[in-house]
Structure 1
Amino acid sequence: MTESTRRAVVFGAGGAGLAAVLTACASYGSPTTEAVVDPAEEPAGDEASSAAPKKKAKAPKALADISDIPSGGGKIFESQKLVITQPTEGEFKAFSATCTHQGCTVASVSNGVINCPCHGSQFKIEDGSVAQGPAGEPLAEKKINVSGGKIRLA
């Protein structure tokens, strides 16, 4: 045999062995063929907005009915870390339920104040300002929408 023929035989045998190993590994535990799907081209520019059906923007889920919030009081929504108050009839405010003193969650609303159980801080239901320390900063105000008898985060 000539040198080039030997190389061809060695490379051919090695290539066949490698192909057999790769085929065995590829077929172990999964199908041996896969469907290849090219992603559809997305329209650009104005085509994108007209090609896709337009969906109406859904309003965020209501946190509460206005009847859930007592006039002159409020309600705490622990999972949202939010307190909603109604300082006067028909006026609704929302604040963070995280006390600005050491980060405890406020626990109740009574007698016109939002109460923190950890160190006794109190905040006014009208504006979240400090009514009694040790907190030195007001509760952060949150934006809400009130319509159709429902209260939603803005």
Structure 2
Amino acid sequence: MMSLTAGCSKDSGRCGPTPVEDVFRSDLYGTYSGPHGARLTLRDNGDNTVGFTATDWPDSSDPEILDKKSPAFDGDGSWRIEGDPGNGDRIGLQFEEDESEREGLPVDQLQVGKRDGHIVLFDRLGDPDVCRVFELSRSP
């Protein structure tokens, strides 16, 4: 199930899912689905590197991508976990494709969180005073 927008958590005052810290790469492998058909598969390449495939990935990180289908692309690349003490871990996506052909800057940083006990990936878009969350849930 995907969430296009999410309210602030009542207990922490945070916008979106509860951030998670100290995750391992193996905790994150799998396919995640998001708004308007966006999909992200995180995998182990088997040679001590990790890769991803993005399908129907939004060509922009503008909050409008939550409301309507926007230009999208398919791409591959590598990813890494970036710790942010006190704010949870993030995943940095490095696309292999030439970014000069894109209209905007795609979402390339996702926070690791939990919703209903399950790992989700998300990014807060736009004005921090308005809770707008691009969220991807792992497929079973």
Q: TM exceeds 0.5?
A: no
Which structure has more relative contact order (CA 8 Å, sep 6+)? It is 2
Query: 1 or 2, which has the higher helix percentage?
Result: 1
TM-score for both structures, normalised by structure 1: 0.28
TM-score for both structures, normalised by structure 2: 0.30
Query: 1 or 2, which has the higher strand percentage?
Result: 2
Q: Which has the larger radius of gyration?
A: 1
